Amino acid sequence: MTTLTRQDLNFGQVIADILCEFLEVAIHLILYVREVYPSGIFQKRKKYNVPVQMSCHPELNQYIQDTLHCVKPLIEKNDAEKVVVVIMDKEHHPVERFVFEISQPPLLSISSETLLSHVEQLLRAFILKISVCDAILNNNPPGCSFTVLVHTRDAATRNMEKVQVIKDFPWIVADEQEVHMQEPRLIPLKTMTSDIVKMQLYVEERAQKT
Amino acid sequence: MVAPHSLPGNTKKTRDIKQEVNKLPSRALGPTEPAPTDNLDNMDELYLDNIDEFVNDHDKIVTYKWLSLTLGVHVNTAKQMLFHYLDHKRKESSPQLHATYLVSGKFVDKGQPGHTVSVVREDQLEDLKAKMSLIVSVHVYSVQKALLKDSGPLYSVDYDAVKDNLKSCSRYSAIRCAGAVPMSTQELQQTEREPQRAPSPEPAAKRSGESKPAPKPSTKPQRGIMGMFANKAPAKSQESGKEVKPEQRGDEPMAVATKSKPAAKANPAMNFFGNQTSKKPDKAVKEEEAAAAAAAAAAAAAAAVPSSCAAEQRHQSSPPEEKQEAAAAAAEEESPKDAKKDSRSKTKRIADSDSEEEKMEKKKRRRIKKPQPDSSDEDVIPDSPQQKETREPSPRPEMEVESVSHSHQSLPGAKTRKRRRVLKARTFVDDEGCIVTEKGYESESYSEAEDDAKAAKRAPADFIPAKPPAGSREDEKKKSQKKTSANASKGSKQASIMGFFQKK
């Protein structure tokens, strides 16, 4: 089995691909579980051998895909520290934040055999955890919207502003209003450690949602 | 009030449905008896704390199958535990718990009587029970803190638990089949050869003949398990509630499925992988060997044949899941034993998991290969001179340059040489160990007389060994037939132009 090292151009791309696929599924699932959109637009599909709910709405899908397409180069270079899915109420104050903290070990050499099934299992656990998270979270007020924020290093932010990875899909520095949440409660959901990536998912929830 | 838990197989009504049921050593229950709290006194009361920990602290969904595998108890015991726990907690009025129930019984759907097995949320339980004409069994399926919006997570919960206990996942089940014995290796090899001759029109015909088995509570016996898996597979979302699972067998659908999962998946899975070259066959082979210990009878293998080609078909063309189940379900009708349908469901699972992984791998490979030509193309230009010098000092002398001198000489007709430019893709391993595929123009020159053209071309000239015109002009001036290796050292970018002066 070929051993991949971080120096390989392929390695970063493979990791980024895996993570972006997972983030896409996770975002769809968060939208479903937190009822940001009516459940009628969701359809059961399969990922990692378990059923997940994915949206069928073309514009929503396109938006999520474009978002992740721009995030992917950041993950490749290990610039992205956190990817945050923020659910905001009508006044655009964040109500819930699902934070995916991603860290990739710098020096790495793994064989791809053990990788796939183990990572799949870990990601499956994440998805299961998201599905049951509404037990611990309070309900959201109606009329919520969502957005995706990425926390990166400074230089990468400037690059993203300069270069439009996707046409007409600009990224801007987030408002303080969108980032800061009042009285957050932290609820850890899941942690995963594997050879290629360490990921942590936790939810910050505003104490009073209405 | 929740319907009391009833043990399957202990009533006359259910006995004819089951093939064979293991009775619990403790007191048997009738369907109308109240909850058997005293029955559990014999058991360790710690299980209540265990379940409490799982549900409340870990926020897990506790299904009876998962509980049985985790605690190592019989499934019926696990169901009783869950019921007891639920009862206990409800009396204590602790934080809200939700439960799902498995209801099995006779149901008349649009005039068609049939046996139905459903998993329903607690709030829909009474509704469903009212609709059924005869209730055979009701028991707790799962307990969790969260209100589940759909049934997806229930499947996920059991998936990993079963996967870890692949060989023995039927250890605690209540359904046994005497005919389900491990296949010997000879039988295994025999059945391997058989499916390869399986006709492909067969699944196609079956596919057309079958509609989606999932919503139909049909009287066909073996479609049950496949129907159950149909709902968990990526079918279109059918109902807002839970699925309806047609099955004629009793109320141990999961147990049946898990029991025979190891059964006879060797054959279809093996054949399935026989058709593709992938790394996953190693894994599949290991799983098969593990599963060969508990496989169905030889008849099962024959019946599994159409499913294996269905599996192949599915993998090759990746049609919607319904088709594969329809084909498999249709195939199941031929075989009387329900063990086989589970083999198919397992096949599908394996197939799914492996095809998924394979796709990931293939995607990986594709991704790996694609950028390489782009990047290395750029590398060609600056690097080629140095690389030639550093890496191939030895081939250089070998590399025979047929320069313009040849062309000149060919003009007077001394040699008939033909040169043509051919776009070729060369794949090789470069010094970093990466596989690089390059396309380039090569000037291929041949004449009837000479072979050295080919020999020289075969020398490991990665990059278009184009020479600058200067080199060839020198040769012209020399007017010698002999090749100059100096030409090889001058790599140049313009493949299209320089290919003309290519050494051969």
CA of B155 vs chain A CAs: smallest distance (Å): 7
Buried b (16+ CB within 10 A) or exposed e, B269-286: bbbbbeeeebebbebbee
The structure tokens listed for B277 are 């070259």
A44 CB neighbours in chain B (<8 A) are: 150, 152, 234-237
For residue A80, list its beta bridge partners. Answer: A152
ipTM exceeding 0.95, yes/no: no
φ, ψ of residue A151 in degrees (nearest 5): -95, 120
Q: How far apart are CA B436 and CA B424, in angstroms?
A: 13
Check if A135 contacts B (Cβ < 8 Å).
yes
Right CATH for A10-206 from 3.10.20.90, 3.30.900.10, 3.40.50.300, 3.10.290.10: 3.30.900.10
Smallest Cβ–Cβ distance between B367 and the set A14, A53, A113 belongs to A14
Check if A109 contacts B (Cβ < 8 Å).
no
| CB-based contact A50 B283, cutoff 8 Å | no
The structure tokens listed for B481 are 């037939």
A131 CB neighbours in chain B (<8 A) are: 146, 148, 152-153, 156
| CB-based contact B234 A44, cutoff 8 Å | yes
Say how many C-beta atoms besides its own lie within 10 A of residue B366's C-beta: 10
Encoded amino acid at A187, one letter: I
Exposed/middle/buried for residue B194 (C-beta within 10 Å: 0-12, 13-18, 19+): middle
Q: Specify whether the CB–CB gap between B278 and A112 falls below 8 A.
A: no
Q: Nearest CA to B163 among A162, A150, A50? A: A50
Exposed/middle/buried for residue B122 (C-beta within 10 Å: 0-12, 13-18, 19+): middle
The full DSSP string for B64-105 is: HHHHHHHHT--HHHHHHHHHHHHHHHHHHT-S--EEEEEEEE
Please report, for residues B172, B222, B239, B324, the alpha-carbon distance to residue B109 in angstroms, rounded to integers and kept in the order given. 33, 18, 15, 24
pTM value > 0.80? no
Q: How far apart are CA B424 and CA A83, in angstroms?
A: 44
pLDDT tens figures, A96-148:
889 999 888 766 656 655 677 778 888 888 888 888 887 778 888 888 888 88
Smallest Cβ–Cβ distance between A49 and the set B149, B159, B433 belongs to B159
Q: How far apart are CA B127 and CA B261, in angstroms?
A: 33
Nearest CA in chain A to B57: A136
Chain B residues 342-371 with a CB less than 8 Å from chain A? 349, 352-353, 356-357, 360-361, 363-364, 367-368, 371
State residue A28's pLDDT score: 92
User: pLDDT truncated to tens, each residue of chain B (504 aa)?
Assistant: 444 554 444 444 444 444 333 434 444 444 444 444 444 454 567 888 888 888 888 888 888 888 888 888 888 888 888 888 888 888 876 677 888 888 888 888 777 888 888 888 888 888 888 888 888 888 888 888 888 878 888 888 888 788 777 766 667 777 777 677 667 777 778 878 776 655 544 444 444 444 443 334 334 444 444 444 444 444 333 333 343 443 333 344 444 434 444 444 444 444 444 444 434 444 434 434 333 333 333 333 344 344 444 334 444 443 443 443 333 333 333 333 443 444 444 444 444 444 444 444 444 444 444 444 444 443 334 444 444 444 444 444 444 444 444 444 444 444 455 666 667 677 777 677 777 777 766 665 555 444 444 444 444 443 444 444 444 444 444 444 444 444 444 444 445 666 566 655
Check if A46 contacts B (Cβ < 8 Å).
yes
| CB-based contact A135 B232, cutoff 8 Å | no
Size of interface A-B (CB pairs under 8 A): 106
CA of B408 vs chain A CAs: smallest distance (Å): 46
B357 CB neighbours in chain A (<8 A) are: 116-117, 120
| CB-based contact A135 B234, cutoff 8 Å | no
The domains of chain A are located at: 10-206
Grouping H, G, I as helix, E, B as strand and the rest as coil, residue B398 is helix
The structure tokens listed for B471 are 């080199």
Smallest Cβ–Cβ distance between B146 and the set A45, A50, A132 belongs to A132
CA of A174 vs chain B CAs: smallest distance (Å): 32
Q: In what order do the strands lie in the sheet with B244-246?
A: B62-63, B134-144, B98-109, B112-121, B244-246
Nearest CA in chain A to B432: A8
pLDDT tens figures, A22-51:
999 999 999 998 888 888 888 888 888 888
